[in-house]
Amino acid sequence: MEKKDRIKLKGLVTVPGIAVGLAIAAVYLVLTLLIPSQVRMTQGHLTNARLYPYFVCICAMLLALGFALTFRKNEFTFDLGIWPMVLASLMLYFGTKTLGFYTSSVIVIAYMMLMWNNRCWWKILLTSVLTPVSIYLAFTVGMRIFMPTGILI
């Protein structure tokens, strides 16, 4: 009982609605302020490349403020306990850049399966080898799409 509560509570973050709304509004405020430096003026008095960004950013800011006010009493819960999966996707991303796609996918599958509490070694071995092999067959042999390689394949 005690252990369950500890695990359940670990990593849970509760944020009030007003904070979520204000955070979104802040992002759009920054974007609006960046428009003059990040969007080059093009031809056209009104019909230039800045019309749409200004329109969208200001609308979004107003809506986000409305969101903050309407949902200020609501609370939203985020589970930070998902970090092993975020880490897995980043491992795959950086692993592909250095080691190559196939090697790092073997590693990442094994890692994810361990995280999902698989302890049967032959299942892990089989899945982590068969998946890249079938991807190779389908993508490279079948459709001539080459996956990125690093120092390994």
Residue 123: CB partners within 8 Å, gap ≥ 6? Answer: 113
Judged by beta carbon, residue 40 or residue 73, the one nearer other proteins is 40
Structural contact between residues 76 and 68, judged by C-beta atoms closer than 8 angstroms: no
* Residue 87 makes contact with other proteins by CB under 8 A: yes
Rg of the chain over Cα atoms, rounded to whole angstroms, equals 23
Instruction: Please say whether the dihedral angle defined by the alpha carbons of residues 116, 120, 124 and 126, taken in this order, is positive or negative.
Output: negative
* Residue 22 makes contact with other proteins by CB under 8 A: no
Residue 92 Cβ vs other proteins, minimum distance, rounded to whole Å: 6
Distances in Å between the alpha carbon of 50 and those of 27, 28, 74? 18, 15, 35
Number of residues that bind other proteins (CB under 8 A): 86
Written as six digits, the tokens of 137 are 């067959």
Residue 74 Cβ vs other proteins, minimum distance, rounded to whole Å: 8
Q: List the beta bridge partners of residue 13.
A: 78
* Residue 7 makes contact with other proteins by CB under 8 A: yes
* Residue 139 makes contact with other proteins by CB under 8 A: yes
* Residue 153 makes contact with other proteins by CB under 8 A: no
Residue 151 Cβ vs other proteins, minimum distance, rounded to whole Å: 5
Judged by beta carbon, residue 46 or residue 121, the one nearer other proteins is 46
